[in-house]
């Protein structure tokens, strides 16, 4: 379909937000890193289990995992990052957003260091919000710590409050789209108008009666958005609109 057609539509009403690990990348980069630098796999599995069972939040999960890291090596760290592959249709998706002037923002519970490195490797300039990896001694990168610049002061669970960023970045007359795959996306999908989900996030949406579109690759998302735009069926999801209103009323 001619892209000029979409340029005639009210594109500014649509804003897209996407998870990174396991969504834009094929695999979870942090899990790949943990496989190499966390030798105590039993303790690590217990931490992940507590997170998946919602006994601890993402922030505490990451901090506990970092305590399990041993023999960290920056060169090996970079090698693991550079081997990460993108969803086969993600570059096409970025072109779709760019050609139709649809803002795309990454919301991630991952680390800025590897997100930035992966995006630059593929020549992508996409704004992102994530947790921050800090080297206490820049001249000796044998250890690191985490900071959470986009956390919610009233919520100790999330490292990066995807909900807050999505809500604060979307006006009342705009339609928010969220794309994700995992447990760290469970909160934000309650507040997004259009949800694309796979894996455990799709299961969460189904169990909690959250309307969503299941997808395998970003190619599926392009096709669905094209249909929604062409049929002019973009609209707020009433349940999400009410939840956003509740948050704003609480201040």
pLDDT digit string, tens, across residues 206-247: 999 999 999 999 999 999 999 999 988 889 999 999 999 999
- Give pLDDT, residue 128: 98
Which residues share a beta bridge with 132? Answer: 147
- Give pLDDT, residue 57: 87
> What are 30's two structure tokens?
């942090």
- Give pLDDT, residue 139: 83
- Give pLDDT, residue 52: 87
Where b means 16+ CB within 10 Å and e means fewer, 148-175 reads bebbbeeeebbbbbbbbbbbebbeeebb
- Give pLDDT, residue 239: 96
Ranges of residues in the chain with a pLDDT under 50 are 1-12
Sheet holding 128-134, edge to edge: 145-147, 128-134, 104-111, 14-18, 175-180, 194-197, 213-214
pTM of the predicted model over 0.85: yes
Residue 69 phi, psi dihedral angles, 5° rounding = -70, 135
The C-alpha atoms of residue 88 and residue 96 are separated, in whole angstroms, by 14
Other beta carbons within 10 Å of 121: 12
- Give pLDDT, residue 11: 47
Q: In this structure, which topology does domain 3-25+87-250 adopt according to CATH?
A: Rossmann fold (3.40.50)
| In the chain, domain spans | 3-25+87-250, 31-82
């Amino acid at each position: 379909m001619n892209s000029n057609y979409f340029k005639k539509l009210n594109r500014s009403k649509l804003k897209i937000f996407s998870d990174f690990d396991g969504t834009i990348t094929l695999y979870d980069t942090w899990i790949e890193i943990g496989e190499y630098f966390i030798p105590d796999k039993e303790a690590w599995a217990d931490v992940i289990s507590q997170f998946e069972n919602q006994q601890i939040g993402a922030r505490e999960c990451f901090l506990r995992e970092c305590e399990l890291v041993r023999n960290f090596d920056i060169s090996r760290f970079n090698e693991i990052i550079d081997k990460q592959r993108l969803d086969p249709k993600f570059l096409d998706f970025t072109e779709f957003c760019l050609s139709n002037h649809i803002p795309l923002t990454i919301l991630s519970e991952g680390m800025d260091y590897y997100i930035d490195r992966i995006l630059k490797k593929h020549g992508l300039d996409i704004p992102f919000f994530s947790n921050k990896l800090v080297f206490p001694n820049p001249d000796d990168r044998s250890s690191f710590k985490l900071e959470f610049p986009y956390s919610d002061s009233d919520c100790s669970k999330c490292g990066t409050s995807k909900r807050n960023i999505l809500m604060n970045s979307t006006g009342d007359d705009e339609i928010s789209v969220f794309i994700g795959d995992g447990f760290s996306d469970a909160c934000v999908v309650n507040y997004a108008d259009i949800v694309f989900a796979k894996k455990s996030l799709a299961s969460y949406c189904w169990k909690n009666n959250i309307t969503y579109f299941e997808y395998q690759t970003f190619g599926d998302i392009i096709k669905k958005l094209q249909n929604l735009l062409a049929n002019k069926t973009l609209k707020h999801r009433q349940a999400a609109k009410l939840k956003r209103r509740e948050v704003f009323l609480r201040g």
